[in-house]
Structure 1
Amino acid sequence: MSILLGIDTGGTYTDAVLFDLERGVLASAKALTTRHDLTVGIGEALQAVLSRAIPASGTRSASGAGTAYGAGAAQISLVSLSTTLATNAIVERQGSPICLFLLGYPPDSLSIGGLGQALGRDPVVFLKGGHTISGSEQAPLDLAEVDKAIRKHAPHVAAFAISGYFGVLNPAHELMVRRRVQELCGLPATCGHELSSHLHAPRRALTAALNARLIPYIRQLIQAVQQMLTQAGIQAPLMVVKGDGSLMDASLALERPVETILSGPAASVVGARYLSGEPEVMVVDMGGTTTDIALLQDGRPALCTEGATVGGWRTMVEAIDVHTTGLGGDSEVHFDAERGLLIGPRRVTPLCLLAQQHPQTLDWLAMQAERETGRAPTGQAPAGRAPTGQVPTGQVPTGQVPTGQVPTGQVPTGQVPTGQAFEGQFALRLRPLDKGVAALDSLQAELWELLADGPVPLSRLYPDRQGSYRRSRALAGLVERGLVALSGFTPSDASHVLGYQQHWSIEAARLGAEIWRRKAARALRREELTVEEFCQMVFDQVVFQLGEAVVMAALAQQGIPEADQQSWLQQLFLAGALGKESARTGWLEARLKLLRPLVAVGAPAATYFPPLAERLQTRLIVPEHAGVANAIGAVVGSVTQQARALVRPLGVAELPLRADEPFRLHLPDGVVDVIGLEAAIQRAEVEVRRAALELARRAGAGEIQVQVNRKDSIARGRDGKQVFLDSEIIAIAAGRPRLAEEPNGQNQGANAK
């Protein structure tokens, strides 16, 4: 029996699944994702799932590993990983600092496609070089200037992004610059031509920049998984899910981690297809940070060959056509002057989870709730009994201080912090500093030290109006770098109050709801609003925004431009379907019906989607194991790799073509000139077949099959004669991943090779 292990490290949860191709899911487990040290959450999920399906024998392997996980871990023949971390980082505008090299780009490139906005404060270096549309050198590459720029920026960045003008037609300059980066500083470098073969220089540069920011994040994740597998005594290939739902070996993912963008959403679609068995559905995956929507047609997920859109950025990564919105169970509840109550897109730590992990925050919440109302809200523990997560008077838990001693970041009883606007919100450290306190400015360093002993209320960090603006900007910088997390009221808190969830501190959820109820009463001018009514408002707003995202995705699938989706007619029907009073205008009442079933996966699926399906008048499918669909999708996929070449005439090539017609081959590693179309096509087919086969082998495929497709482009000239423009040659290599070898040296599984 071959057991496959699927792991998904998302923004909120880490899931693990043990899977057999014949029997299906053997066991599953969840653990909280620990962003500051991913090995903690991965280890907890891994140990939990192995202990449920493979009882520990108490014996130790020869290497000393695997005792805590059970000797049966040796039965695992494949491990596959999917992750939403890349998607979440883009949506939340987080990532490591990078430097972007633009080779031969015009000066106004930063104003096109949102490139300048996406880069923010990250440095951009314009260098001479690049190529023309024919693949010829536009200008020589000045290696001295390249070396100077690398030495200048390397000490301050985590990675480089490189994009050459017409680099997809000749990547020579991009490859030269990457070699210099590797030789001079050894930092990761992403080349734009590896991400897409399509023309659009600014978008390709944007994609390279976004992906370069993610390299340290993905590498940390892969290394964490490899470490945990070694400790568990698992000796099996490690695969990673790509954005198109296929798999690749972890060694290749470390070289090209950019392809893991949308890995988590892609795995959820593959998993939803497997679990539901439905060929024509809309798949909606709601996690803690984002909601991802994709369509299945004829049993296959729709692909976005022109580039996936994530967090408002249009990339050039070929991936599953996923519509991602910043709405999840842990999205921030806030108020807008015009639109009222809103959820997301920023993720914050739910107050109920914060108090579960840091019980001292209950004291702050109780103090702030009493400040708001003059009395503590109902639902607290009776006098003489400590609420959940606290201890009776006189008993001091580990890590806390005795009565009378006030830990850093807290205040003695009777002292009320200022800054009421920030009550019900906290900040806490998320991970250690990369380069020490010296990398922070003075105000950021001050805030960092204030957070040394655990979560601190924002009202404590912003003690007065005069300094709150500067401190909020400094704190925002720490959040953007992924060093600090914020905590506030979320749909998860509302669900705890309403009884839909009971995983974490209900006491903290009620205290937070009391604080935020008063904020809502002031913002919405509803002074009689109760805690339960406020939480129901939050729940209903989540359902509305989910429905809005589903309808937008359906309209996009029908080819309706995004600008037209906001027309008054579309808004009228949307409001009608989702229960808004504005759906009635005079003699009309609007209703919508989704003509495809909804397959809902993710931890909150059973909570929010039944009322949404009812309002959209469609069938809802919440399959068994929906909460771990991503981890399942990670192990049921296959390896697929592509290689492309473009064959173009060097001049005007009228049909019929001359036998001595010269052609230029734009290959994955450079350009080659060949005489005669058939000779050029044959050379291109050989090269792309070889490249795709090699990529598939490196990606971990066994029993590889290669298919080569050709597409000619022919136009008619002014004189009516036909002109040959180009021929695109695409090789697709596919196969199931190779499995680990059995003790006798034979590979497990019929697909191994």
Structure 2
Amino acid sequence: MALSLGVDTGGTYTDAVLIEDEKTVIAAAKSLTTRHDLAEGIGKAAQAVFDEAGVAPSDVTLASLSTTLATNALIEGQGERVGLVLIGFDEKDMARNGLADAIGDDPHVLIAGGHDYAGNEAATLDEEALSLWLETYGDDVSGFAVGAQFATRNTGHERRVQEIIQTRTGKPVSCSHHLSAKLGGPKRALTAVLNARLIGMISRLITRAQVRLEELGVDAPLMVVRGDGALISAEFALERPIETILSGPAASIVGARWMTGAVEALVSDIGGTTTDVALLKDGRPAIDPEGARVGPYRTMVEAVAMRTTGLGGDSETHLVSGGLKGKITLGPRRVLPVSLIATEAPDLVHETLKAQLNSSYVSEHFARFVRPVKGALRTGLSAREAGLLERIGDDIHALGNVLSTRLEYMSLKRLIERGLVQVSGITPSDASHVLGLNDAWDREASEMALRLFAMQRTGAGKRLASTAEEMARMIVDQLTHQTAVALLESAFAQEENGFDLPAEDLARHVLTQRGLSGHRGLLRIDAGLNLPVVGLGASAPTYYPAVGDRLGSEMKLPRHAHVANAIGAVVGRITIRHTASVTSPSEGKFRAHLDEGPEDFTSAEDAMKRVEEVLLAVAKAEAEVAGAEGIHTQVHRNIRTATIDGREVFLDADVVGEASGRPRIAS
């Protein structure tokens, strides 16, 4: 019997499943995600499935982990402080692809160097400028990102800077050419920044998960789900954590296909923090040709074509100011539901909410709490941020009791972004407790919190809602609306015929929204989805039937929808891909751009064969290290030519080498 353990760490819950012989789910369980140490939640969920199935942890032959940690961190703007070294670029390049926004207040330096399109050195690398910068900032960051001009054509300067940084600081370095072989230096540098920012938190997750599973008695190799749904070894994921963005969503697509056998469908996975939507076509998830997009960032990571929206069961509820009618919106930030934090500090939460209900005014701090995140790194804080964090200490507080001035709002925002504190507020999870759709946590706390929120005034001076139940229905209706919009955006983006307007505008267009309501006047307007939706996530059965009705679409809710990510974590394949290019810098010369440096040939065919030989060897070796067996290899060529004076001329080519196989199980 082959017994596989799949685990998924989400924003709110950690899921675990046991699958027998890759065919049958024999146990499934959930445990609250423990932010201060994710391994605690992993251990509890794993132990629960062992107990349910009545099997010993030592019987597990394969363990695999999918995680929304990286995705949620980027959505919420979290991550560790890093330094960026840009080689051969200028300040104008910083403004491209959101690079300046991504680096924010973290240190960066622009130094001379880089190469041209053909891989020739454009300028000498300024090692002295790098050394001076490292003297100032080397101790102030957790890691470094390096991006050089045309590094995919010649990796020399990035490799030299990596060597200098590691020699001087001993800290991890993310080189852009390790993460993508595509052109577009600022976008590669952005990907390297995000990778560097994630290294610490992904490393802590994987290493602690390995230790916790070993403590339980699991001695099978640990795999991690990549953003394209493939499996990689834990060791590989530690080097390139950016490849785990969309890991959880990608696993859910694999799990959806395995559970339903769906060939054509939209798959929508609602978690605590995000809603992730992807198209399943011909039984396979499409890969995004432009690179994974998460929140505001378009990366160069190869991943499932997924639209991720900051909308989930734990999305923060906001009052929309302006206008006579009261409106609310949800997300994109995740907060701890009041019903959940009340289970951790019931006396404080209940006493605070009761006092606020008896107040003669309504404050923006009402029904909001704050707590620290244990074990988070506290480097690079300003004096005001450090003072606020010290005031919070180790306890849960009413938010209004720790903010003494308006200036501390920005300090609190920064602490949240750094993952040092968590804020609790009203969420759809609280609304579902009030409506009797959920009974996992503290309903009474939710009811008081929603009564407080309902006391706010609209532009017409009226209360937002008259009861907690009415307020809860408004929140759930808004979740239905925003989920339907997210699905429409994905459908418009994937529509093969295409439209002139952006998918976001089309989904929100008045004609689309009127069409969903079946407008009948002088015009008849109809709109809806023309394919089924597979709804995944623990709260999908609660919220998604109404979404299907709204879109006029069949809503598939598979039996194990609540643990789809954990299922997808163990039913995938190990796949390693590497890409390199061939150019023609001059007539009769064909250059293979390899990781160790360019090599020249007298024919395009010889150059491409050399690239294929190297890529397949590297991919196969990495697949073997990753634990694959029964490995199959294949290559793909994308050759670009032009017709000049009646003859076909080679311009350049991208070559992809791929090795894939099933994970090797423990004997």
TM-score (norm 2): 0.95
Q: 2 CA distance for matches of 1:344 and 1:524? A: 25
* CA pair 338-111 structure 1, distance change in 2 beyond 3 A: farther
* CA pair 523-549 structure 1, distance change in 2 beyond 3 A: farther
Task: Find the partner of 1:624 among 538, 559, 564.
Answer: 559
The alignment partner of 2:358 has SS state of helix
* CA pair 567-311 structure 1, distance change in 2 beyond 3 A: closer
The answer to whether residue 305 in structure 2 is matched with residue 346 in structure 1 is: no
1:311 is matched by which residue type in structure 2? Answer: G
Shift of 1:588: 3.1
Match of 2:342 in 1: 355
Match of 2:635 in 1: 708
Listed as ranges, the matches of 1:456-471 within 5 Å are 456-463=397-404, 467=405, 469-471=406-408
Task: Find the partner of 1:142 among 109, 123, 126.
Answer: 126
Match of 2:377 in 1: 434
Match of 2:355 in 1: 367
Shift of 1:189: 1.2
Deviates more, 1:173-182 or 1:128-137: 173-182
Q: 1 CA distance for matches of 2:553 and 2:507? A: 21
Shift of 1:265: 0.7
Match of 1:737 in 2: 663
* CA pair 435-341 structure 1, distance change in 2 beyond 3 A: closer
The answer to whether residue 222 in structure 2 is matched with residue 238 in structure 1 is: yes
Match of 2:509 in 1: 571
Q: 2 CA distance for matches of 1:450 and 1:121? A: 24
Match of 1:76 in 2: 60
Number of matched pairs: 662
Match of 1:50 in 2: 50
Q: 2 CA distance for matches of 1:247 and 1:235? A: 18
Deviates more, 1:516-525 or 1:317-326: 516-525
1:27 is matched by which residue type in structure 2? Answer: A
Shift of 1:433: 4.7
Q: Is the 8 A contact 1:97 1:122 kept in 2?
A: yes
Shift of 1:372: 5.7
Match of 1:655 in 2: none
Match of 2:391 in 1: 450
- Cα displacement string for residues 328-365 of structure 1 (whole angstroms, at most 9, x for unaligned residues): 00000002225831000010000000001111211111
Listed as ranges, the matches of 1:468-483 within 5 Å are 469-483=406-420
Task: Find the partner of 1:488 among 391, 412, 425.
Answer: 425
- Cα displacement string for residues 498-555 of structure 1 (whole angstroms, at most 9, x for unaligned residues): 0100000001000101111112657883466222111100000000000001001100
Q: Is the 8 A contact 1:207 1:315 kept in 2?
A: yes
Q: Is the 8 A contact 1:556 1:562 kept in 2?
A: no
Q: 2 CA distance for matches of 1:283 and 1:563? A: 23
Q: Is the 8 A contact 1:11 1:85 kept in 2?
A: yes
The answer to whether residue 550 in structure 2 is matched with residue 615 in structure 1 is: yes
Q: Is the 8 A contact 1:429 1:452 kept in 2?
A: yes
Q: 1 CA distance for matches of 2:606 and 2:230? A: 33
2:623 is matched by which residue type in structure 1? Answer: A
Match of 1:220 in 2: 204
Q: Is the 8 A contact 1:151 1:184 kept in 2?
A: no
- Cα displacement string for residues 73-118 of structure 1 (whole angstroms, at most 9, x for unaligned residues): 1111111000011111111111111111111113311111211122
Task: Find the partner of 1:688 among 615, 619, 635.
Answer: 615
1:10 is matched by which residue type in structure 2? Answer: G
Q: 1 CA distance for matches of 2:647 and 2:45? A: 66
Q: 1 CA distance for matches of 2:447 and 2:42? A: 30
Shift of 1:453: 4.6
Q: 1 CA distance for matches of 2:653 and 2:490? A: 33
Shift of 1:150: 2.9
Q: 1 CA distance for matches of 2:515 and 2:481? A: 9
1:313 is matched by which residue type in structure 2? Answer: Y
- Cα displacement string for residues 375-403 of structure 1 (whole angstroms, at most 9, x for unaligned residues): xxxxxxxxxxxxxxxxxxxxxxxxxxxxx
Listed as ranges, the matches of 1:400-439 within 5 Å are 420-435=363-378, 439=380
Q: 1 CA distance for matches of 2:609 and 2:276? A: 42
* CA pair 520-548 structure 1, distance change in 2 beyond 3 A: farther
Q: 1 CA distance for matches of 2:460 and 2:52? A: 48
Match of 2:580 in 1: 645
* CA pair 155-647 structure 1, distance change in 2 beyond 3 A: same
- Cα displacement string for residues 635-689 of structure 1 (whole angstroms, at most 9, x for unaligned residues): 000011112232222314xxxxxxxx32111113321112233332332221111
Q: 2 CA distance for matches of 1:462 and 1:578? A: 44
Q: 1 CA distance for matches of 2:122 and 2:61? A: 50
The alignment partner of 1:274 has SS state of helix
The alignment partner of 1:462 has SS state of coil
1:300 is matched by which residue type in structure 2? Answer: R
Give the RMSD, CA atoms, in angstroms.
2.0
Shift of 1:576: 2.6
Q: 2 CA distance for matches of 1:564 and 1:648? A: 34
* CA pair 716-177 structure 1, distance change in 2 beyond 3 A: same
Larger radius of gyration: 1
Listed as ranges, the matches of 1:596-611 within 5 Å are 596-611=531-546
Match of 2:653 in 1: 727
Listed as ranges, the matches of 1:60-99 within 5 Å are 72-99=56-83
- Cα displacement string for residues 555-582 of structure 1 (whole angstroms, at most 9, x for unaligned residues): 0112646954455896123323555xxx
Listed as ranges, the matches of 1:159-198 within 5 Å are 159-198=143-182
Q: 2 CA distance for matches of 1:577 and 1:609? A: 20
- Cα displacement string for residues 584-609 of structure 1 (whole angstroms, at most 9, x for unaligned residues): 59633533121110000011100111
- Cα displacement string for residues 210-231 of structure 1 (whole angstroms, at most 9, x for unaligned residues): 1211111111110111110120
Match of 1:636 in 2: 571
Q: Is the 8 A contact 2:490 2:503 kept in 1?
A: no
The answer to whether residue 479 in structure 2 is matched with residue 542 in structure 1 is: yes
Match of 2:30 in 1: 30
Q: 2 CA distance for matches of 1:170 and 1:627? A: 46
Deviates more, 1:480-489 or 1:254-263: 254-263
Match of 1:414 in 2: none
* CA pair 520-318 structure 1, distance change in 2 beyond 3 A: farther
- Cα displacement string for residues 126-182 of structure 1 (whole angstroms, at most 9, x for unaligned residues): 011111000111112133332333342221111111111111111121122122222
Q: 2 CA distance for matches of 1:101 and 1:185? A: 14
1:434 is matched by which residue type in structure 2? Answer: L
The alignment partner of 1:356 has SS state of helix
Q: 1 CA distance for matches of 2:371 and 2:278? A: 34
1:503 is matched by which residue type in structure 2? Answer: A
Q: Is the 8 A contact 1:84 1:264 kept in 2?
A: yes
Q: Is the 8 A contact 1:572 1:590 kept in 2?
A: no
Consecutive unaligned residues of structure 2, counting only runs of 5 or more, are none
The answer to whether residue 486 in structure 2 is matched with residue 498 in structure 1 is: no
- Cα displacement string for residues 666-721 of structure 1 (whole angstroms, at most 9, x for unaligned residues): 1133211122333323322211111111121122211111112223211022x343
Q: Is the 8 A contact 2:488 2:507 kept in 1?
A: no
* CA pair 623-139 structure 1, distance change in 2 beyond 3 A: same
2:600 is matched by which residue type in structure 1? Answer: D
Q: 2 CA distance for matches of 1:173 and 1:532? A: 62
Identity of aligned residues (%): 43
* CA pair 369-574 structure 1, distance change in 2 beyond 3 A: farther
Q: Is the 8 A contact 2:276 2:306 kept in 1?
A: yes
Consecutive unaligned residues of structure 1, counting only runs of 5 or more, are 56-71, 374-418, 653-660, 742-753
The alignment partner of 1:681 has SS state of helix
Deviates more, 1:521-530 or 1:110-119: 521-530
